[in-house]
């Protein structure tokens, strides 16, 4: 019996789609499409962990490649089909298994969209703090497999910090259930960590135990301007010391980004000629007290000459208006096309100098090139949009220059989006041969036939 017939036997006709029935949606992620001519052999839609196990057992026996897919909002090509693969989409596994208010956990199936988790937590009076632009479509399984970051990492950490337990299915169909709900568990190796950030190459995540937090009831936001970039670090130190655990965002925009983000707006909060702009947010549990503390922090920074100017939001809508400048990145990247888009990290205290050097190297090669920078500075995460007037657009050469600069500065070529296919050629710029050898040893041990997402992350 061939692979497809075996899959149909286990999953029923509605659980398997033949190549002609697979819609375009499954043929790429947010960033890239499969090469023309690349066709999956089937799309499978499991309903349970046992279904996933059965799919993998069949594929393992046949040596058939498997590509796990979540919400396909990935920005590194990790979910892109490879030729003749079996796609495993978790979209029918979206149940909330349990909310435990005492443990402050939510146990879910991996196909649940992030936004559904956020809403269920809020309905229970709690917070699931991961928040990224693709929240309506991306799935918890995808968030785990990419170790997603986003806007509140400074306060709550990345996905890795928000996970207590995982259930995953190995390449041969073995189910590894580790749905731990305890904050402390040092009983030898923490197996769940293998599946976080490994982009579907070591197992298919089927369920997870997520950490929940008290819902913040106060929110303060300010947009600050500093005269020169070095004052950004001073401001960060003050924000950490004076706002303590309430500090929830510290987003830096370089002038080239800010000017483009406010272009065409009738009302702009701050002029365009400062050295850098910082969006600062705090979240707490007492609006009056937290507002006083926040306002005093901003005033003191002004008195000490750290701030050149600042606007404090007086309402939720004013706060959202300030955030809309930072969030203009989504539209900006479309307006700037053709553009090369980077998500890198360097040590926080060297970010300004790194951005300067990276821009200098780009301009030395392409006169008039622009490096438009913004990022989650306290997380050492920098986003860069690079434009150049050269046509055809020299994307590959720009990648070489930026990733080469990251390598020379000891940074990471991927702060939060993962490696997938897009950054595979540059993995060695941020990971040593010994680190890559450990990764390959793990891959060989857990997936000896190399069927899980082959060709992604490394060859």
Ligand X SMILES: Cc1cc2nc3c(=O)[nH]c(=O)nc-3n(C[C@H](O)[C@H](O)[C@H](O)COP(=O)(O)OP(=O)(O)OC[C@H]3O[C@@H](n4cnc5c(N)ncnc54)[C@H](O)[C@@H]3O)c2cc1C
73 near ligand X (CB under 6 A)? yes
69 near ligand X (CB under 6 A)? yes
Between 293 and 376, whose beta carbon lies closer to ligand X?
Answer: 376
How many Å is the maximal CA-CA distance in the chain? 77
CB 253 within 8 A of CB 276: yes
| Minimal distance, residue 142 CB to ligand X, in Å | 2
Between 90 and 369, whose beta carbon lies closer to ligand X?
Answer: 90
Between 260 and 417, whose beta carbon lies closer to ligand X?
Answer: 417
Determine the Cα angle at 98 with ends 94 and 100, to 5°: 145
Q: Which of 155, 293, 383, 417 binds ligand X (CB under 6 A)?
A: 417
75 near ligand X (CB under 6 A)? yes
150 near ligand X (CB under 6 A)? yes
394 near ligand X (CB under 6 A)? no
| Minimal distance, residue 294 CB to ligand X, in Å | 24
65 near ligand X (CB under 6 A)? no
For residue 84, what are the contacts with CB-CB under 8 A and spacing of at least 6?
A: 39, 40, 41, 64, 65
**What does the alpha-carbon distance between residue 387 and residue 339 come to, in Å, rounded to a whole number?**
5
290 near ligand X (CB under 6 A)? no
**What does the alpha-carbon distance between residue 129 and residue 79 come to, in Å, rounded to a whole number?**
24
**What does the alpha-carbon distance between residue 360 and residue 373 come to, in Å, rounded to a whole number?**
13
133 near ligand X (CB under 6 A)? yes
Residues 324-343 touching ligand X, rule: CB under 6 A, are 330
Q: How many alpha carbons fall within 13 Å on the CB side of residue 241?
A: 10
| Minimal distance, residue 176 CB to ligand X, in Å | 12
| Minimal distance, residue 101 CB to ligand X, in Å | 26
81 near ligand X (CB under 6 A)? no
Between 351 and 453, whose beta carbon lies closer to ligand X?
Answer: 453
Between 148 and 225, whose beta carbon lies closer to ligand X?
Answer: 148
281 near ligand X (CB under 6 A)? no
Element (H, E) at 150: none
142 near ligand X (CB under 6 A)? yes
Distance of CA 445 to the CA centre of its chain: 27
Strand ranges, E, within 340-436: 340-345, 370-376, 381-387
Whether residue 340 is preceded by a cis peptide bond, meaning omega within 30 degrees of 0, is no
Query: In the numeric block, which tokens belong to residue 444?
Result: 């060989």
Q: Which residues of 301-330 are buried (b: 16+ CB within 10 A; e: fewer)?
A: beeeebbbebbbbeeeeebebbbebbbbbe
| Minimal distance, residue 206 CB to ligand X, in Å | 7
Between 169 and 369, whose beta carbon lies closer to ligand X?
Answer: 169
430 near ligand X (CB under 6 A)? no
70 near ligand X (CB under 6 A)? yes
**What does the alpha-carbon distance between residue 95 and residue 140 come to, in Å, rounded to a whole number?**
11
| Minimal distance, residue 165 CB to ligand X, in Å | 15
- For ligand X, the nearest residue by Cβ is 142
Q: How many alpha carbons fall within 13 Å on the CB side of residue 3?
A: 23
Between 134 and 269, whose beta carbon lies closer to ligand X?
Answer: 134
DSSP one-letter code for 417 = S
**What does the alpha-carbon distance between residue 233 and residue 378 come to, in Å, rounded to a whole number?**
9
Class of residue 375 by CB neighbours under 10 A (exposed 0-12, middle 13-18, buried 19+): buried
Between 46 and 284, whose beta carbon lies closer to ligand X?
Answer: 46
Q: Which stretch binds ligand X (CB under 6 A): 68-76, 176-184, 266-274, 398-406?
A: 68-76
**What does the alpha-carbon distance between residue 123 and residue 117 come to, in Å, rounded to a whole number?**
10
Q: Which of 51, 109, 199, 290 binds ligand X (CB under 6 A)?
A: 199
Residues 34-63 touching ligand X, rule: CB under 6 A, are none
Class of residue 208 by CB neighbours under 10 A (exposed 0-12, middle 13-18, buried 19+): buried
**What does the alpha-carbon distance between residue 84 and residue 62 come to, in Å, rounded to a whole number?**
12
205 near ligand X (CB under 6 A)? yes
Determine the Cα angle at 441 with ends 90 and 188, to 5°: 80
Q: Which of 145, 246, 348, 430 binds ligand X (CB under 6 A)?
A: 145
109 near ligand X (CB under 6 A)? no
30 near ligand X (CB under 6 A)? yes
393 near ligand X (CB under 6 A)? no
What is the binding site for ligand X (CB under 6 A)? Answer: 29-30, 67-75, 78-79, 90, 110, 132-134, 138-139, 141-143, 145-146, 148-150, 199-200, 204-205, 330, 416-417, 420, 453, 456
């Amino acid at each position: 019996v061939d692979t497809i017939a075996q899959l149909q036997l286990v999953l029923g006709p509605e659980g398997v789609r033949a190549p002609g029935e697979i819609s375009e949606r499954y043929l790429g992620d947010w960033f890239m499409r499969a090469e023309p001519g690349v066709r999956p052999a089937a799309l499978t839609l499991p309903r349970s962990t046992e279904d996933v196990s059965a799919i993998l057992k069949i594929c393992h026996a046949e040596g058939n490649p498997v590509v796990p897919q979540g919400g396909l909002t990935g920005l590194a090509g990790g979910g892109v089909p490879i030729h003749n693969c079996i796609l495993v989409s978790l979209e029918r596994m979206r149940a909330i298994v349990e909310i435990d208010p005492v443990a402050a956990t939510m146990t879910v199936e991996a196909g649940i969209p992030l936004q559904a988790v956020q809403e269920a937590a809020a309905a229970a009076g709690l917070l699931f703090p991961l928040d990224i632009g693709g929240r309506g479509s991306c799935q918890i399984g995808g968030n785990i497999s990419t170790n997603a970051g986003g806007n509140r990492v400074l306060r709550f950490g990345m996905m890795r910090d928000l996970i207590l337990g995982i259930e995953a299915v190995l390449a041969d169909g073995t189910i590894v259930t580790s749905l731990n709900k305890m904050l402390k568990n040092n009983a030898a190796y923490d197996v769940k960590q293998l599946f976080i950030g490994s982009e579907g190459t070591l197992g298919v995540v089927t369920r997870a135990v997520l950490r929940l937090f008290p819902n913040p009831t106060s929110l303060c936001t300010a947009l600050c301007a500093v005269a020169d970039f070095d004052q950004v670090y001073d401001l960060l130190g003050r924000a950490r010391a004076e706002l303590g655990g309430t500090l929830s965002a510290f987003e830096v925009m370089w002038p080239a980004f800010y000017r483009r983000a406010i272009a065409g707006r009738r009302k702009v909060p701050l002029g365009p000629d400062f050295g850098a702009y910082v969006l600062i947010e705090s979240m707490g549990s007492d609006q009056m007290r937290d507002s006083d503390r926040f306002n005093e922090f901003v005033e003191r920074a002004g008195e000490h000459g750290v701030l050149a100017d600042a606007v404090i939001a007086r309402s939720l809508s004013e706060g959202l208006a300030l955030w809309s400048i930072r969030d203009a990145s989504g539209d900006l990247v479309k307006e700037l096309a053709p553009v090369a888009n980077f998500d890198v990290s360097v040590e926080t205290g060297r970010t300004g100098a790194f951005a300067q050097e990276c821009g200098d190297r780009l301009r030395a090669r392409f006169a008039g090139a622009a490096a438009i920078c913004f990022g989650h500075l306290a997380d050492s995460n920098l986003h860069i949009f690079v434009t150049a007037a050269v046509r055809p657009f020299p994307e590959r050469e720009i990648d070489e220059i930026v990733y080469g600069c990251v390598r020379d500065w000891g940074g990471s070529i991927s702060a939060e989006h993962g490696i997938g296919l897009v950054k595979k050629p540059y993995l060695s710029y941020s990971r040593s041969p010994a680190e890559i050898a450990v990764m390959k040893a793990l891959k060989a041990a857990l997936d000896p036939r190399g069927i899980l997402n082959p060709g992604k992350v490394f060859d």
